[in-house]
Amino acid sequence: MPITTCIFDAYGTLFDVAAAARTAANEPGREAFRAHWPAIAEHWRLKQLKYTWLRAITGDHTDFWTVTRDGLDWALEAEGLADDTDLRERLLQLYWELEAYPEVPAMLHALKDNGMNTAILSNGSPDMLDGAVKSAGIGDVLDDVLSVESVGVFKPHASVYDLVGDRFGCAKSEVLFVSSNGWDAAAAAGFGFTTAWVNRAGAPMDRLPATPGHVLTDLTGIPELAR
Residues involved in catalysis:
9
List, as one string, the DSSP characters of 112-163.
HHTT-EEEEEESS-HHHHHHHHHHHT-GGG-SEEEEGGGTT--TT-HHHHHH
* Pairing mode, strands 175-179 and 117-122: unpaired
Please, are residues 109 and 225 in contact by the beta-carbon 8 Å criterion?
no
Please, are residues 104 and 138 in contact by the beta-carbon 8 Å criterion?
yes
Spatial separation of the C-alpha atoms in residues 149 and 12, rounded to whole Å = 19
Please, are residues 133 and 120 in contact by the beta-carbon 8 Å criterion?
yes
Cα-based distances in Å from 203 to 102, 200, 207: 21, 8, 12
Beta bridge partners of 145: 120
Q: Report which secondary-structure segment, H or E, holds 177.
A: strand 175-179
Q: Give the torsion sign (CA, 161, 170, 185, 137).
A: negative
CB atoms within 10 A of CB 112: 16
